[in-house]
Chains A and B, each alone.
Chain A
Amino acid sequence: MTTATPRVETILEPELDVELDRVWRSRPGFIGWLTTTDHKSIAKRYVATAFIFFLLAGLEAATMRAQLSRPENGILGPDTYNQFFTMHGTTMMFLFAVPVMIGVGLYLVPLMVGARNVAFPRANAMGYWVYLIGGVLIYGGFFVNSGPDAGWFAYVPLSGPAFSPGKRVDIWAQMITFTEIAALIAAVVQITTIFKMRAPGMSLNRVPIMVWTTLVVAFMIMFAMPAVATASLFLAMDRLISTHFFNPAEGGDALLWQHLFWFFGHPEVYIMFLPGTGIISSLLPAFTRRPVFGYPALVLSVIATGFIAFGLWVHHMFATPLPQLGQSFFTAASALVAIPNGIQIFCWIATIWSGRPIFRTPLLFTIGSIIIFVIGGMTGIMIASVPFDSQVHDTYFIVAHFHYVILGGVVFPLFAGFYYWWPKVTGRLLSETAGKWNFWLMFIGVNTTFFPMHQLGMEGMPRRVYTYLEGTGWGDLNLVASIGAVIIFSSVVVFLANVAWSLRRGRVAGANPWGAESLEWATSSPPQSYNFRNTPVVAGRAPVWESGGELPVMTGLARDRQQVLLTTVLDAEPDSRHDHPGHTIWPFVVAVTIGIFFIVLIFTPWGMPIGTVLGFIAYARYVWPKKRHDPSVIELPRSVPPAEVPR
């Protein structure tokens, strides 16, 4: 029956594999695609969809760069250009950067903590569909000339009912709602998974750093996303039913929008950046042959960044008439956030210093990310200064700054992670040669595009301009930046070619091609639908290295239904077992009703009653209790001596 004693898994149990696979795998075909609750499928979808949005946003950027390559160019008129830059920012921030990190986290976290799935698999599935509906909504609008044109930040009164006629901004405001719901669902799922479903022995001080960053980011999402959802709700209400949140004539305030938006907006960039740091901390051990240096410092830095990130938002508003003392507080906080960021970078360099670097593509992208992020971080400290920011705010200097920190802190680590985990996800390796081409083209392209923008901003070029006059002298540097965009484009083409090649002809990777140390490498590539045959038991921070390849396991989870093990929050002692609901179509249906609710609300308040009724019916079916074999949560016999679980 239930054997809680950990033992080294030397007994082969082929039947166990077959039974577990039958229980856990998704149904085949299109219906399987709609009903799956396997976190790996959902995560792959998140990443693939986000990557498609990345490509679309990149095309928008390329078009913008073509327009700006020469003064008074005629490729895009002002209205189209405004839609393009708004879509570029909106896509990158809402539809790419956060969802891709959500996807990476959803794939890795259960594997890294030794669980079979996430805590709320149905909600997880629903979150993806909601995200997809939001993305399709706004791109559908974009393709019929209803793309938003007020900037990704949509300041009122420009985005308000008086100055943005039509439904463009309404579509944008509702898209925000979709992506926020998806992010909040993923946050709840991740927090619960990380707190309650870790492998026995994986106390909090043994949790991989990637999991720590996912946890901190999940909490940040829960506090930040409601602010933007509130802001977009207020904006949608002002536009649809004539409320006066942002109408100064009736007691509202245009600055209210800015506060609400940036209270979300600043943590948003750390929500994007912290998983990037988690990726770097995850892959450095494999490529320096030592555990990452300074685990406690890294974890505390991530947590500190998560907190401090909420105290910075006014630095986006330094040109507004806020009192100087208040602005000074935010200057100090914005400068001091460099301390935890710096600690992480110093720890990484210390890891490399005392390790033995292995120059594969993931390490190259990591090095590139550190270089680019440090440059961006330097300009970040500069613009924390109110007087200096008063000159460069809303200029290309800022464009340069945030592209450096985002490319350095999000995109380069993401590519490093792609190259690192691709063999785990697909079972095949990406080409190293193409990887090096990918890296160098992207590194050169990014610097060529964005470094001149520092100079352009200081020379007076504002942001969000569809053209500029000949006499300003900005033509040359803009041309250089546009050439850099071509180089970046070519690097992405190389990447896509690499992906296509690898899927057909890539070298088959084993379970652990990089010789890495965390739990995801202790199972096959790609992992089985049930992740691990038996629950691994962990005794340190580097389970694969410490166990010498033979991982101690704990058996006893059910083989005839989807059952997961719950452990305690701090020390991960086995606590209880829980039956998961299995694959089901209802998350998809509920997501569709949520879509109906918000999309109809764009046009008429009737969306609320219609959507509520439909949603209620679907949700009732979603949560309808199923017949259970036995009580779903079983307390394990207390006779299991804690001493038997290795510390």
Chain B
Amino acid sequence: MMLLQAPRFTQQSMLDPAGTKAGSIHDFWHFLIITSTVVTAIVFLTLFVALARRRRTADPEAPGEQRSLTRWVGASVAATLVIIVTFLFLDFRLGRALAIPTQRTPLRVNVIGHQWWWEFQYPDSATPGNWISTANELHIPVGRPVILRMSAQDVIHSFWVPNLAGKKDLIPGHETETWIEADSAGIYRGQCAEFCGLQHAKMAMLVIAEPERQFEQWALAARGQALAPADSVARAGQQVFLTGGCSVCHAIGGTMAGGTVGPNLTHFGSRLTIAAASLPNTRGNLGGWIVDPQRVKPGSYMPPNALEPDQLQALLAYLEGLK
């Protein structure tokens, strides 16, 4: 698996930015938290002093006291207004800066949200019809903006990779667009951020940002058909795949399996995770997932598959070989 020189698997967090947009938003967060803390501290201090102090004047409604309080309240309101206007100015400036990607030629990827997995298509305008179709793992080049054209097939989802950028909804009947850009190589986890049903909690994805050259290598390999099974066990596994229920929903390029219901599995062996980034892609996990997906993601649309042990092993060998 040709991946990265220095893989950094980052905990998903907006406080650890690795992308252009997330970085700017993180800077703005500093302004927000500092200002809020100062204002809150002043308000609390005033409140506590008000509670603790001994009242000096006998008549709180005396005109002098009234005028003084009015002035203070007025000044506080004016200060609040100034802070809010400053905030608005900085916010609008940030918003407009983030609206358009940086100058470099963007990569375009289509994102289609399904219950409960992500479909990514890389349209290749040079070769119409020769698109990469993959699922749940989005490869992008470092330092280049990636424009995501997004829609959903069923319900509203939301694409969110906090280390890289803010989120954008995927709405059936609409085509939404956003862009992300990674500043450094790494593996960044994202998660669906709009409640989409039973397995919204486990609709995650990985964004794998690689240097440009490695990204091109990946894209070239990804565009190809699936690798032929290496040995007889894998060949038997391919038979299990094609004659059983797998091919009804899943597609593997270069074989007769052309199902479009579930994720495309052409290069499944290279994926780091399965089940929308719910489990690492290991033999054991994969076996458990194939036999009883409802235990991992109850409610998902993948049915259980009762396979004989040797059939299962052959199938696993085949799938592992789809690099």
The residues of A with any CB-CB pair to B shorter than 8 Å are 77-79, 82, 150-151, 155, 157-158, 162-163, 248-249, 252-255, 289-291, 293-294, 297, 319-321, 324, 327-328, 331-332, 335-336, 338-339, 342-343, 345-347, 349-350, 352-357, 367, 370-371, 374-375, 378-379, 381-382, 384-395, 458-460, 462-469, 472-473
Contacts and interface: CB of A to CB of B under 8 A. Distances in A.
A-B CB proximity, top 5 nearest? A390-B166, A248-B173, A460-B12, A465-B201, A353-B50
B169 A320 contact: yes
A394 to B, nearest CB: 4
Contact of B40 (A255, A297, A374, A459): A374
Given A357-B51, A371-B47, A390-B166, A467 B11 contact: no
Nearest to B165: A390
A381 B36 contact: yes
Interface of B: 11-15, 21-22, 24-25, 28-29, 32, 36, 39-40, 43-44, 46-47, 49-51, 53, 55, 57, 60-61, 65-66, 69-70, 72-73, 76-77, 80-81, 84, 87-88, 91-92, 94-96, 98-99, 115, 154-156, 158, 160, 162, 165-169, 171-174, 176-177, 189, 191-202, 204, 278, 298-299
A617 B55 CA distance: 64
B88 A331 contact: yes
Contacts, number: 235
Given A157-B156, A249-B173, A382-B32, A339 B12 contact: no
A394 B194 contact: yes
Contacts of A353: 46, 49-50, 53, 69
A472 B12 contact: yes
Contact of B299 (A79, A158, A378, A462): A79
A459 B26 CA distance: 12
Contact of A158 (B21, B57, B197): B197
Given A321-B171, A335-B84, A391 B14 contact: yes
A297 B73 contact: yes
B190 to A, nearest CB: 8
Contacts of A357: 50-51
A338 B43 CA distance: 14
B201 A324 contact: no
- Interface residue SS majority, chain A: helix
B91 A385 contact: yes
Given A390-B168, A459-B11, A354 B43 contact: no
Contacts of A382: 32, 36
A265 B16 CA distance: 33
Given A249-B173, A338-B84, A460-B162, 17 more contacts: A78-B198, A155-B194, A162-B154, A252-B173, A254-B156, A319-B169, A320-B169, A342-B80, A353-B53, A355-B55, A388-B28, A390-B168, A391-B22, A394-B195, A460-B13, A468-B201, A472-B12
A172 B198 CA distance: 18
Contact of A321 (B32, B177, B193): B177
Nearest to A336: B84
A526 B99 CA distance: 61
A388 B25 contact: yes
Contacts of A389: 166
Nearest to B299: A78
Given A293-B69, A353-B53, A253 B173 contact: yes
Nearest to B174: A321
B156 A158 contact: yes
A255 B198 CA distance: 22
B36 A394 contact: no
A354 B70 CA distance: 12
B159 to A, nearest CB: 9
7 contacts: A77-B298, A79-B198, A163-B154, A370-B47, A371-B44, A393-B167, A394-B193
B14 A460 contact: yes
A254 B77 contact: no
A387 B156 contact: no
Contacts of B50: 349-350, 352-353, 357
A346 B77 contact: yes
A354 B69 contact: yes
B20 to A, nearest CB: 12
Contacts of B191: 460, 462
Given A385-B87, A460-B191, A367 B25 contact: no
Contacts of A469: 202, 204, 278
A246 to B, nearest CB: 9
B130 to A, nearest CB: 29
A172 to B, nearest CB: 14
B194 A387 contact: no
A354 B167 contact: no
Contacts of A294: 69-70, 73
A335 B12 contact: no
A386 B168 contact: no
A337 to B, nearest CB: 10
Contacts of B55: 354-356
B84 A339 contact: yes
A463 B168 contact: no
Contacts of B98: 387
B177 A386 contact: no
Contact of A319 (B70, B158, B172, B202): B158
A464 B69 CA distance: 45
Contacts of B96: 324
Given A350-B72, A388-B32, A467 B167 contact: no
Contacts of B49: 353
Contact of A254 (B15, B25, B172): B172
